[in-house]
Amino acid sequence: MKRIWLALAVVVLGLAGCGQAQQTSNQSSQSQTSEQQSTTSSTATSADVADAVKQFTGRNFNVLPRLKQIPVTFVRHVDGDTSVFRLNGHQLKARYLLIDTPETVKPNTPVMPYGMQASNYTHTALNNAKQVTIMFDRGDYADKYDRILVYVFVDGQLLQKQLVEKGLARVAYVFAPSTTYLQELNRAQAQAKAKRLNIWSKDGYVTNRGFNTSLYR
């Protein structure tokens, strides 16, 4: 009788082991399938972006995707929050979304404190980057000065965030629905302010309307 019970126990354990192995195999297959789908999706997205760029004539911004990184060529530097890029052979002046750096080239306006530091940082980051990409948000493609409104990435890193977290830019010009990175930038600003970095080193210099340069006269 004992031998019969032992034999049954062996059979049950064997069946359980097979079931577990089959479950593990299924999970592994599902994981591989998900990874393959992710890779395919990424490739398709890159192809879609490339096709859209080929259609761009310099003015038909509506053909360009939103919330997708678009490779561009860095042409020249303007200041901390403005640059010129080339996209499909067309030069575009770009204004960085959601930030404001102290002025350095504005007509009839003296160079503001920390303006050159911000300007130099942006220039160096773009000049040294292996890849520069831009991203349009859900709002307007361009402003009234015909500057495209974009997020700028250097080697995959958001340049706006780098400027804010180093205390070289303030979060500003917030207009919905172009607010995709607003919370991230606000967190970076709070940290820079707490550390009193650069533009935050003197109370009252940063205001809701810009920079109070009278504090440095």
Q: Which residues are catalytic?
A: 95, 103, 147
14 three-class SS: helix
Q: Which of 173, 206, 166 is nearest to 189 (CA)?
A: 166
Q: How far is CA 67 from CA 5, 54, 202, in A?
A: 65, 18, 36
DSSP 156-202: TEEHHHHHHHTTS-EE----TT--TTHHHHHHHHHHHHHTT-GGGSS
Q: How far is CA 199 from CA 159, 165, 185, 216, in A?
A: 17, 11, 15, 12
